[in-house]
Amino acid sequence: MAALCVFLAAACRYDYGERRIPNNLIIWTAAAGAVWRLWNERAPGLLWYLGQAVLVMAILYPLFKIGGLGAGDVKLLGVTAGYLPAEKILVFLFCSLLVAAMISVVKMWKRGAGGAQGGICLSGPVLVSVLLLLGGVY
């Protein structure tokens, strides 16, 4: 999980600095997660990792299609979900999107009637959600 936090911190750096998350970073994050699950749980762990990651990305794909999430955000949420126990994924997604919504509300409030132009970077809320999980909040 420490590696996940390092990868998420790197994703934050790119997302907030360049407004995109590089595919190479997503691939390295996914590879590390798959190897970690394979090492700890053998072949079933690898299959669970891949299944969870693909399922989360498939569920979030419609949000990408309507412009609610960026492609990098969908991929980042998917590969991050693969690291988590299956029973924590929905809470993880809820917490990540809740933190993102709170940031969006603050941005809209600060900008006034103009709204939150330019969207928000979802990598920060994902990192916060993982840290809440590691801290035992959920």
Tokens encoding 45: 């762990």
3-state helix, strand, coil in the chain (%, to 5): 85, 0, 15
Tokens encoding 73: 């955000």
Q: What is the mean pLDDT of residues 56-85?
A: 95
Residue 115 has pLDDT above 60, yes or no: no
Phi/psi for 125 (5° steps) reads -60, -35
Give the whole-angstrom CA distance, residue 138 versus residue 21: 27
Q: How confident is the model at residue 82 (pLDDT cuts 50, 70, 90)?
A: very high
Give the whole-angstrom CA distance, residue 5 versus residue 55: 22
Give the whole-angstrom CA distance, residue 106 versus residue 23: 29
% of residues, the chain, pLDDT over 70: 96
Say if CB 5 and CB 112 are below 8 A apart: no
